[in-house]
Amino acid sequence: MAKHIFITGGVVSGLGKGITGSSLGVLLKNSGLKIFMQKFDPYLNIDPGTINPIEHGEVYVTDDGGETDLDLGHYERFIDVNLSKNSSTSAGRIYYEALEKERNGKYGGKTVQVIPHITEEIKQRIYKAELESQADVIITEVGGTVGDIESQPFLEALRQVRMERGKDNVMFVHVALLPYLKVSGEFKTKPIQHSVKELLNLGIQPDVIIARSEMEFDQKLKDKISLLCSIPVENVIECPDSDSIYKVPLVIEKWNLHKIAAEQLKLKLDNTNLEDWKKLVSNIEESKDVLTVHIVGKYVELSDAYLSVMESLKFAGYEIKKKIKFNWVNARKLTRENLESELSGAKGILVPGGFGEDGVEGKILAAEFARVNNIPYLGICLGMQIACIEFARNVLNLKDAHTTEINPNTKNPIIDIMEGKNTENIGGTLRLGRYVTSLKSGTLASELYNGDTAIERHRHRYEFNNDFRKIFEENGMVFSGIYTEKDLVEIIEYPKNEFFIAAQYHPEFTSRPNKPNPLFMGFVNAINKR
């Protein structure tokens, strides 16, 4: 039976519950325990797959094809454990499954209510994670903020888990804001007090409070929070703002959060080994020289839409002690007239994934600019498809070349719908999850991966049309990665350029702080070389 740590948030959202949970996971894992993480989100979408990235940030894809919340990316990058679709659960999925049971008569004619039926569905998710993961500790983040109507069924379910399992097996960590008022020059504990009061009204007494603040604070404030929130003073953990989220594990190690958890949950810890993590932080601090990457995307209003891409670039930079700077280019506003001014001086151009017509022509112009001017280029998912369209239009002279996603009537459908797929249902109908790519020997791809296979995660519906493969190859394009089971193109590269490569999959989902994905590492090295 696993031990459970539940992470809740108070006062405002965006305080870093996911980073807190992930950082605690790092400490426990590096103390010899097996860790699993999951996220409960209060929104009513079945999953984030159909939510606009500008609304909610990127959709993170797991090995088994789950379209999940971006916080799972933080979990995987920190604890270096491949999670599953069951690690991300929305209120919408909970209600959907409960109503399916009601329609199928599974409740035996009973009146279906939030308590006990919805809370039981939530609890079963928690207990199912125990069986699936066989973890020593399961860390669960509850999305939203205490006091939100949408979160109440989840918090009630967690209260019941504590009742059923006891305090020796269940721990509550509450992350709340400790604001500093510059006008009076003092911290204010009242917001933390009120958020803890909200938890108490729901029957939950937090065991630990993570006080998120702009700066460090003194012992008197800890004593005050301890007294007014009824927790031991050593369980009040200060966590001031940091210039890197990867420093947070070392911050909470300083305050012994992992040892506090171990004492309450009766866990046996080995000596905590954070040498790799300290090396990462050292590399971050030593990364002074800047490398600039031009990212040409359609969701540039919210950088979280490309969170895993950004982190993957940073990891590659840290490996060579370079700081990566992002130059955002709005693909929707990129035209032939402003192309030179927007991309002149670019040392590396990355075109990430996306859906829909907006920005596609701008991305095609960016791919052309990179190819013609021999600028290192990395294309991801749609970024590969538009590189193929650009090549067809400007090298093969197939002027109406396009993807049938946008122009179903094109005479040269370079990118076409996957066999057996349809466009009627959007959610959960893409090619999702982990697939094995076979790499052609002697290519850039095989050199970067240092082998003959790449195992990466996918999220798309359209593929390169093999009818055009021969003419592409005759004109210099190399198809260096193939999903052999269905003969699908996974990687293209253009050897005439110093570095021009694009993948149908999403390499950003397998990049880790101390293990950058090979495509990102190669891309950053190519920029550095220039």
Residue-by-residue DSSP string for 273-296: --HHHHHHHHHHHH--SEEEEEEE
The rounded distance, in Å, linking the Cα atoms of 205 and 225 is 14
**pTM greater than 0.85 (yes/no):** yes
CATH of the structural domain 3-279, one choice from 3.40.50.720, 1.10.260.40, 3.40.50.300, 3.40.800.10: 3.40.50.300
- Could you tell me the residue ranges of all domains in the chain? 3-279, 287-529
Q: State which residues of the chain have pLDDT below 50.
A: 420
Catalytic residue IDs: 381, 506, 508
Instruction: Determine the distance from the C-alpha atom of residue 337 to the mean position of all C-alpha atoms in its chain, rounded to a whole number.
Output: 35
Report the C-alpha gap between 293 and 512 in whole angstroms: 19
* CATH code for residues 287-529: 3.40.50.880
Tokens of 334: 């990129």
pLDDT recorded at residue 14: 86
CA nearest to 365, candidates 294, 308, 471: 294
Q: How much is the pLDDT for 440? A: 97
Do 74 and 174 touch, CB atoms closer than 8 A? Answer: no
Asked if the domains at 3-279 and 287-529 fall in one CATH topology, the answer is: yes
CB 30 within 8 A of CB 47: no
